[in-house]
Structure 1
Amino acid sequence: MTRKILMHVGPETIDYDILLGGIKGDVGFTSKEFVDAMSFSLKFLRKLMGVGESYQPFIIPGGGTSAMESVTSLLRKGDKVLVVSNGVFGNRWIDIFSRYPVNVKALKAKAGYYVKPEEIEEEVKKDHYTMVTMTHVETSTGVREPIAEVTKRIRDYVDLIVVDGVASVGGEEVRAEDWKIDVFLTASQKAIGTPPGAGLLVLSENATKRLGEDNIAGYYLNLKNWIGVMQSMEKGKASYFSTLPVHLILMIKKAFELIETEGIGNRIRRHEIVSSAIRKGIEALGLEIVAKTPEAYSNTVTGVMLKKVNPNDVLSMSLTEGIEFAPGVHPDLGGKYFRIGHMGWVNINDVISAIAVIERVLSKLGEPINFGEGVKAVQEYLINGISISSSNIAP
């Protein structure tokens, strides 16, 4: 069987200790083992999100989209929502809110760019919005929004600020409380590095107070129905609304233990090193990155533009070479790019393998590149550009 490195945009390659942590045949949703795992995970989620005791953590079934839709629990009929979208997954907020009795307006950026903080500030000064939603890292392009700056500019003008951190939490700096963000959410399968199946989010005290009977959410994703479960579980007491993904949460607990051992700061630094090395290699090959400006580069996803060859051919041939990358999904760049996911348990040796495969595959397919320069640039960066420690090499 051919060994494979998964450098998709989620799920990522999963540490075997995490997978083994969920292989339990006799754990019920009221068992002490599960309740303890849930309690630990909820408490650690606060650390990961950079918040204190005043924020309420949730781990709910589903994924990033379920976490996104659950924020309708904070809205009432007729509320105004401003969606800040940098791509496909920013637009998902529009698709979600359009199913509910709220008024939605969107500010959109061109592919590879982000909506400027001053544009968002200008809009919220013109009209009062109950909620503004942003995407920290747009998975479709790898573009990072400067959410701390945006929040600083708009905090006094809106009731709720919500950030989709599906492709950022665990790989980017997140200080939700310091930045005065009301809701920060993510999913289990990306930079946290566990299988898909859970949405994770924290709510500020301001947001939690809005979980009233008159919210517009449905039943399953209504956080009002989940909050009692979360509060009881965190205190070590079994509770039930609907069955949680028991075995996944056991894996999340193990992942959080490994993140705690590595150190959140070390983990973010590792992601910074890996992502920078990826981009050094891509640029040395003479290829263009989808994110148009360096300040918009993310630690977790890099989109790679192609000049000549079909990206689907690149993906299929790379897979035969042992690495799985992700297709491009932004409609404005259709057939022009592919994506590299570099998050979770990725290390610097994975980078060298990825760039080497990209070089070989593109050369075989006839893409005009600077053959041999990609791996060389990565190696030079790793030798000269950073201080390599054990935490940088492997989690």
Structure 2
Amino acid sequence: MTSAHTAARVAAPTGYPERAAVAEFFTAQAGELDRGGCDVRPGLRFLGELGLLGLGAPDNAGDELATMLLVVEDVAASCMSSGFSLWAQRMVVEYLARGATGPELDGELAALRDGSRIGVTAMAPAMKHVAGLEPVPVIAERTADGVRLDGPIRWASNLFDDALVVVPARFADGGGLIAVLRIDDPGVTVHDAPELLALGGTRSSSATLTGVEVPAEHVLSEDLTGFVRSVRPTFLLVQSAFCAGLAGASRRCSAELLDGLNAEFGADFAELATDHDSVRARLFDFARAPHRPSAADLLRLRLDAARVAGAATRLESAVTGGRGYVATSATSRRLREAAFLPIQAPTEGQLRWELSRSA
């Protein structure tokens, strides 16, 4: 992992007033959330009450995206399930802040920002569509009042009963759109959530849309490609932030255990620290002007961030020893959480493919 950025150039914000409260809240609930004793909604409401769900939306508004990324890092460092759910919530805020028209969606945007409405981003197929990998599976048909949607949402998170979903769809003639619907709309079927290795409290599953009527005012854009390209920098940066947060937690744990026999891991730790610093330097540099870096630079950051999280959790497991193998330990939880990152859309395979095409 190489980069022109160095640790000395990390442009991360120094903090935010609620930082200690955020760390305390999510550290306290991480174990229970991992065991299935609660879900991610209280955490989102907590962040909403603090005014931390919509920082920098849209397009680094108020120059606050870097602070938003620090919040995501902090949450993921304490509880990756909550950090992942926060990414989904923050992206739905981004979508509506960019494309909402009319008082109803303005009200939904306010509810998303304060955490009283949960957001679902079902945009992974749109990313694949724009990359040229496969067409969006949801089909749209025009009606007198808007559009009718049919097709699968193959995977999404935050699929709670009253959640707001942003989903891409395509017309038979090849055009596309970005639409907003509710989980409780007629024709929306959410399938039972499978038991996951980790992230179980995120209510991740699949859904099917059957004749779902969407009014015209709930269509955020009929330029699917343009909309995706406009939100993708923030999409990838927030994902990179939760990877960096998880990596940072494991790095800090490992740093305290490098004595005795574990001194043999000193070189591994030094390499990890360099790679993690590189990811964070790029993350906060790019946040200042999200549309300035090339698509390849953003994709490479996202790939590197996931890789460094995997490396960090494996090193933590090695230096922690047997107690980290206990299923309820924080080390075990972080190792399982990191195992999800290569399959999180955009997957490692998609990232590699897109980077090979841009070379």
* Greater RCO (Cα-Cα under 8 Å, separation 6 or more): 1
TM range (shorter): under 0.3
Higher helix share: 2
**Greater Rg over alpha carbons, structure:** 1
**TM-score normalised by the chain length of structure 1:** 0.25
